[in-house]
Amino acid sequence: MLSGTFWMSFGSIFSRILGVIYIIPWLLMLGSQQNQYTAQALFNAAYTPYALFLALGTSGFPTAISRKIAIYNSEQRFRDSQQLFRAAIFFMCISGLVCGLLFYFAAPAVAGSSPILGGASAVSIIRALVPALFILPVMSIIRGWFQGNEDMKPFGVSQLVEQLVRVLSILLLTFISYTLLHTSLEVAVALSTFAAFTGAIASLAYLMNYYHRQKPLYQELKAASQPATGLNTKQLFWQICKEALPFVYVGSAITIAQLIDQFTFKQIMRLGSQLSLTAIQNMFTLFSANPSKITTVIVSLAIAISGTTLPLLASAHADPQKAAVIIQDNFRLLFGLLAPVTIILALLAGRINTVFFGYNLHGSWLMFWSILITFVQAIFTDVFTLIQSLGKHRMAVILLSITLLIKFILQYPLVYFFHDYGALWATAISFGLVAGYCVYYLMKLSNETKLADFADLGLLSRANLIFAVLATGLLGILSLFSVADTRIASFLFSCVYGLLALGILAVIAYYYNLPKIILKLKWGRTQYKHF
């Protein structure tokens, strides 16, 4: 679990960091702050529905297939795994084609409902993402193959390759089109969204090369495998579809919540305020588009932990005692690693917002609340993956439907009275209530009667609370020094504060013996084959 989380985190988090860093030069190339707000709104209006269609074409099926492969491999049925993988590749080619066409024709409706200016120009920006939708489903199945074989390295590295090529393409295409050729802002943003296609091509090439280099190992596994059982592919895919659809639905939870904001915020604000469409677009940028670039780091760590746990839990489905151990190890990683990251990012919200988007007090507070709420969503993402790994798909679907229903019911009154904060609080309440119930359910499943004893949550909560208090005090002390609200000054302040906060965390970790509790490490000389 630790090795898999390392590789998944390595690829996922560093790819997200690249996806954040490029924002600085990209926005600077676009000129005025209003241009930057408009570009961010257009980019986000395209990417949020794209994420949903990508989930429809990718998230559920690779997860379900990786779970099936993990089960086959635990039963020495590697030949069946290979047969399933080949059929899945063909199936995902069709899936990519269907999702790409649907996204192309849905573009006008998406653009018209979004809180952005220039709906017609937004259509071409949205459609620039269609080529990537053709490739990514196939690529995701190859990642699912490696995940099912408990080889997380290519999964993580391919994410990094994809993001690196995408970011370089965005900056290069924007520089050529907007700075050198002086095209319109909409053309520059459309080329930036098209860069997802170049990243997908590079990642696919890496995965195919890695698969080719692993062929000797696969030949050994094939030789040791039981004979192929002659899988009925049509029947098997029908079963996988039934299993995958809940994964698709649950995997899209955060994206669907963001779409509720995107498709209702403008309409509610026009009823509940006298603000212009430009002001509403800028508000949408501050509470949705900007924070999502930062908060994705938190979610990616949760996905790395839960994605690693999934095949382990699937292979232990027949052993409740072993499953309980895996669940508690998962929670130790989640609360031991994710909570300190969230605390540091939340306390630095104002400075982070200044570094990437320029100084804006209102935007800084929205960033602060978004980071805290994302921690709730990260727990939600993790516990739902655990529930589905245990085969409780119906339960997951029902609970997610309740979550989205609560979000939808709360959306109108909270946005009407509290505007952008209301949208965030509607998300926090809906996801928090259901995530809390899921934690309670998994605790009972692990035969634990006290929450404090479950996965050492009592100890971890105490350590994180002490860290939060000391980190807040440190921020107060450093804030006594006069630091300018510029990008460079905020960056240097964040570096100094971050290093000092990590030092405090190290002391607390040593005092409470957290490396042994969370990572199963021992002080002294130790060797791990995966590192």
Cβ proximity of 356 and 24 under 8 Å:
yes
What percent of the chain clears pLDDT 70, i.e. is strictly above it? 89
Cβ proximity of 155 and 7 under 8 Å:
yes
Q: Which helix (H) or strand (E) holds 374?
A: helix 361-389
**Residue-wise DSSP of 460-512:** HHHHHHHHHHHHHHHHHHHHTS---SSHHHHHHHHHHHHHHHHHHHHHHHHHH
Cβ proximity of 280 and 266 under 8 Å:
yes
- Residue 24 has a CB neighbour count (10 Å cut-off) of 15
Q: How far apart are CA 174 and CA 168, in angstroms?
A: 10
Residues 461-471, mean pLDDT to the nearest whole number: 93
Q: In this predicted structure, what is the pLDDT of residue 430?
A: 94
pTM of the model: 0.73
Binning the chain into helix, strand and coil, the percentages to the nearest 5 are 85, 0, 15
Cβ proximity of 200 and 140 under 8 Å:
no
Q: In this predicted structure, what is the pLDDT of residue 231?
A: 65
Q: List the Cα angle 250/391/255 in 5-degree steps.
A: 5
Taking the domains of the chain in order of start, what are their residue ranges? 2-519
The tokens describing 50, both together, are 């794209």
Q: In this predicted structure, what is the pLDDT of residue 525?
A: 43
- pLDDT, tens digit, 9 for 90 and up, residues 239-295: 667 767 777 788 788 888 888 888 888 888 888 778 888 888 888 888 887 888 788
Alpha carbon of residue 186 to chain centroid: 27
Cα distances from 218 to residues 75, 80, 207, 209, 225, in angstroms, run 16, 13, 15, 14, 10
Q: In this predicted structure, what is the pLDDT of residue 107?
A: 85
In the numeric block, the tokens 């430009």 are attached to: 278
Cβ proximity of 416 and 272 under 8 Å:
yes
φ/ψ of 443, rounded to 5, equals: -65, -45
The tokens describing 342, both together, are 């969230």
Cβ proximity of 167 and 1 under 8 Å:
no
Does 523 have pLDDT greater than 60?
A: no
Q: In this predicted structure, what is the pLDDT of residue 526?
A: 45
Q: How far apart are CA 140 and CA 138, in angstroms?
A: 5
Q: In this predicted structure, what is the pLDDT of residue 530?
A: 39
- pLDDT, tens digit, 9 for 90 and up, residues 92-140: 888 788 888 888 888 888 887 776 665 667 788 888 888 988 888 888 8
Q: In this predicted structure, what is the pLDDT of residue 346?
A: 93
Q: In this predicted structure, what is the pLDDT of residue 315?
A: 65
Averaged confidence pLDDT in the chain: 82
- pLDDT, tens digit, 9 for 90 and up, residues 303-338: 777 666 666 666 666 677 777 888 888 888 888 888
Q: List the Cα angle 521/524/526 in 5-degree steps.
A: 60
Residues 54-72, mean pLDDT to the nearest whole number: 72
Q: In this predicted structure, what is the pLDDT of residue 318?
A: 66
Cα distances from 89 to residues 9, 42, 95, 337, 460, in angstroms, run 26, 33, 10, 35, 42
Does 18 have pLDDT greater than 80?
A: yes
Nearest to 11 by CA among 137, 152, 116: 152
Burial of 153 (0-12, 13-18, 19+ CB in 10 A): middle
> Residue 502: which residues within 8 A CB-CB, separation 6 or more?
344
- The more confidently predicted of residues 425 and 75 is 425
Q: In this predicted structure, what is the pLDDT of residue 390?
A: 79
φ/ψ of 375, rounded to 5, equals: -60, -40
Burial of 210 (0-12, 13-18, 19+ CB in 10 A): middle
Q: How far apart are CA 195 and CA 193, in angstroms?
A: 5
- The more confidently predicted of residues 63 and 24 is 24
CA-based torsion, 291, 292, 298, 299: positive or negative: positive
At 9, which amino acid appears?
Answer: S
- The more confidently predicted of residues 518 and 481 is 481
Least confident of 3-7, 357-361, 484-488: 3-7
Does 9 have pLDDT greater than 80?
A: no
In the numeric block, the tokens 């300018």 are attached to: 484
At 170, which amino acid appears?
Answer: I
At 393, which amino acid appears?
Answer: H
Q: What is the 3-state secondary structure (H, E, C) of 383-424?
A: HHHHHHHCCCHHHHHHHHHHHHHHHHHHHHHHHHHHCHHHHH
Q: How far apart are CA 228 and CA 236, in angstroms?
A: 14
- pLDDT, tens digit, 9 for 90 and up, residues 418-461: 888 999 999 999 999 999 998 888 888 777 777 767 777 888 88
φ/ψ of 483, rounded to 5, equals: -120, 125
Does 529 have pLDDT greater than 50?
A: no
User: Does residue 522 sit in helix, strand or coil?
Assistant: coil
The tokens describing 151, both together, are 């080889």
Q: In this predicted structure, what is the pLDDT of residue 524?
A: 44
CA-based torsion, 183, 184, 188, 191: positive or negative: negative
Q: In this predicted structure, what is the pLDDT of residue 189?
A: 87
Cα distances from 362 to residues 184, 242, 476, 491, in angstroms, run 29, 45, 20, 19
Q: How far apart are CA 51 and CA 61, in angstroms?
A: 15
Cβ proximity of 293 and 20 under 8 Å:
yes
